[in-house]
Amino acid sequence: MSHASPPVIPHFGTASDCVLANRPFCSDWVRAHWQDTLGPALVQHVELTAIAVAIGFILAGGLALFAHRIRRAEQPIGVVATLVYTIPSLALFQILVPFTGITTTTVEIALVGYSLVVLYPNMAAGLNHAPADVVEAARGMGLTERQILLRIELPLAVPAVLSGLRLAVVSTISIATIAAFLMPRGLGYPIFVALRDPAPFKTEIYAAGGLAVALALVCDTALVVASRALVPWTRKGLAA
């Protein structure tokens, strides 16, 4: 987002009456700047979130399986996860910058950290969801430990994992707006830019903020729909 020769009103473009009056929401501005500002910001935001949640999912899954295997590790990992979650995001950026610089890596490390600590407790709890009698029946019928994990414990963990995933996606979408403090990426950046102005341009703030909210809602709904398909046994009002 570098500008070769700064125009007089850089972000307003060809200003309409609405824009000049800085009314709460000018749809003409949104249309005019979808291509150069909002669209790219939305794509970047999806990228930031997707990478963070994907890596967080893999790490949290690995940790949860490890803790499931070695029960003594369960509590320490849980405590550390809670501690990480209490660090304010901006402070975490500051802590990371000396090591990883002002880069996407820094942002992703922080976002992965948050999604991981949201996902881990749900995954760990989910793996313990299989009732003891179900596991005993499985073992008594001659399922190997691996088959018990793959066929019983993992499927029964799916509802808890999905609710963790919903939380992680929604909170990461929200936290990812803070990436703009570090670099011009994501839906936080248009907001950040607008706020820098002594008279913040309302449309830009509302449009970017609204997009973040809409993105969170769409992802959440998609996951709810997916969970219906993935856990058919809990449909029809059945208890899991």
Partner 1 sequence: MTGTAAEIVFDNVSKRYPGRSSPALDGLSLTIPAGTFCVLVGPSGGGKTTALKLINRLISLDEGDIRIDGTSILDLSPVALRRGIGYVIQQIGLFPHHTVGENIGTVPKLLGWPAARIRERTEELLTIVGLDRADATRYPQELSGGQRQRVGLARALAADPPLLLMDEPFGALDPITRARQQDEIRRLHREVGKTIVFVTHDIDEAIQLGDRIAILGEGGRLAQYDTPDAILADPADPFVAAFIGEDRALRRLALRRLGDVPLLPFAGGGPSVGSALTVRNAVSLLLEGGFDRLTVTGDAGTPIGTITLAHATSLLQS
Footprint on this chain of partner 1 (rule: CB under 8 A) = 131, 133-144, 147, 152, 155-156, 231-233, 236, 238-240
| Nearest to 207, CA basis, from 33, 67, 83, 78 | 33
Torsional class of 15: left (φ above 0), alpha (ψ -120 to 50), beta (otherwise): beta
| Nearest to 179, CA basis, from 100, 92, 86, 116 | 92
**Shortest distance, CB of residue 153 to partner 1, whole angstroms?**
11
**Shortest distance, CB of residue 11 to partner 1, whole angstroms?**
53
* Separation CA 206–CA 65 (nearest Å): 42
* Separation CA 236–CA 232 (nearest Å): 9
**Shortest distance, CB of residue 145 to partner 1, whole angstroms?**
9
| Nearest to 85, CA basis, from 41, 55, 115 | 115
- Considering beta carbons, is residue 139 or 202 the nearer one to partner 1? 139
**Shortest distance, CB of residue 154 to partner 1, whole angstroms?**
10
**Shortest distance, CB of residue 62 to partner 1, whole angstroms?**
23
- Considering beta carbons, is residue 66 or 233 the nearer one to partner 1? 233
CA distances from 232 to 125, 152, 156 (A): 20, 15, 11
* Separation CA 64–CA 180 (nearest Å): 31
- Considering beta carbons, is residue 159 or 188 the nearer one to partner 1? 159
Sequence-distant (6+) residues with CB within 8 A of 12 are: 19, 20, 29, 201
**Shortest distance, CB of residue 70 to partner 1, whole angstroms?**
20
Amino acid at position 95, single letter: I
- Considering beta carbons, is residue 213 or 231 the nearer one to partner 1? 231
- Considering beta carbons, is residue 196 or 235 the nearer one to partner 1? 235
- Considering beta carbons, is residue 118 or 138 the nearer one to partner 1? 138
